Amino acid sequence: MNLKTLSMMGALLLLAGTGANAQKKKEVLNDSNTPLHLLQPAYKVPYGMLTTEEIKADMDRVLRYLEKNTPTRVVDKNTGKVITDYANMTADAQLERGAFRLASYEWGVTYSAMLAAAEATGDQAYYKYVTDRFQFLAEVAPHFRKVLEKYGTVDPQMKQILTPHALDDAGAVCAAMVKVQMKKNSPELKPLIDNYMDFIVNKEYRLADGTFARTRPQHNTLWLDDMFMGVPPIAWYSCIAGDKQQAYLSEAVRQIFQFADRMWVPEKKLFRHGWVEGMQDHPAFHWGRANGWALLTMCEVLDVLPEDYPQRDKILDLFRTHVRGLAACQSGEGFWHQLLDRNDSYLETSATAIYVYCFAHAINKGWIDAMAYGPVAQLGWHAVTTQINAEGQVDGTCVGTGMAFDPAFYYYRPVNVYAAHGYGPVLWAGAEMINMLNKQHPKMNDSAVQYYRTEQKTSEPIFHVMDGGAK
């Protein structure tokens, strides 16, 4: 090929390129030829409509993972051999170790979530997960108690059940057991429930006015976490307490207000994580999961309190104000931050899932407005789903956390797929999102998720609602 031929070919390619560029320029989207407001945004997490089938698929993945990783067997801790003769166990007997403990407070949340999932989906595999494990614990507990009495020592996981020493040991599992005990044909759990309640009511450390407290990290410290660890089991126990029902309800309500008196920060509409009796100043670190425990506590108590209970409206008012404060803190990715009001702290899964559950539950109960908060819950659920991996593990969850008075402590708490705190909230959130989608009428309008009181049947991307959507 000679130089003249090469030159001619180059000229032709240049002309072709010029023509292509000219045509490409004609196709550039602009305000004149395209409704730019309908362009798809580059969301970092999914955005838009959901189906109950999609939600259940995510939940089922978590269920299958947990079924594999929470066995119900007794083994010899030295040999690993399975023990079936419970009457002749020695001090070497222990619960088989899975990825998670069967009677931790995190698993108490998981059991309650599984019960809600069974009701929302109609899938009894979730209920079976709970009853299988509660039946197992109820069966082996008397035999492990004999081991403790005979040898003076026992498997630490069983000791947590037999002789609880903190609200963490007792409260959340107790509440879940009461919920099961209230159902027909449930396992006989009353001995375990009464043992837990004896600790919560009679043995847990308290301030002089009776508020649940701890002696760490400072003397007479209140942890916001303990609202959830202590109050819901008392409220739920009222349902099976016979003529003592009112006493238990009164105690649950009293605890909420005594925590709020010290830990509620009205200008932020958030709770502080910790409070120490005798401190001159009380720094307010608004830890995400602890605020979740407080909101979840109010959900649980409102579920139990009669509609005409004298102080119910006051709790409901605090709940709604807390919802407003939390909604204002949600990130553009749908998550909430580890420290709620500090946007440079990391995005955290367990708190986000708790808020999704509580917002959706409150909508379903009629406590808050679906139009205002349905999109908040839906965005939060979309965020949560990005943290459920193919195996069914939940990522992005802060590990167990003490209480501190400096930000670095919270900013640098690790996250881990084995942090048990994430699993119950995720299942609970999914269950309540299914309930919400079955009751409410979300629809995309002008690229935004909107919640309507009546079904909007139009397929138009932008539409008017002429009747206001009123019932």
What is the residue extent of each domain of the chain? 51-439
Q: Which two tokens stand for residue 181?
A: 């005990």
pLDDT for the residue numbered 25: 58
pLDDT for the residue numbered 245: 98
The pTM (predicted TM-score) of the whole model is 0.93
State which fold the 51-439 domain adopts. Glycosyltransferase (1.50.10)
Mean pLDDT per block of 10 residues along the chain (471 residues) reads 45 49 66 86 95 98 98 98 98 98 98 98 98 98 98 98 98 98 96 98 98 97 98 98 98 98 98 96 96 98 97 98 98 98 98 99 98 98 98 98 97 98 98 98 96 94 79 41
pLDDT for the residue numbered 78: 97
pLDDT for the residue numbered 312: 98
How many C-beta atoms surround the C-beta of residue 242 within 10 A? 7
Dihedral pair phi/psi, residue 74, rounded to 5°: -100, 135
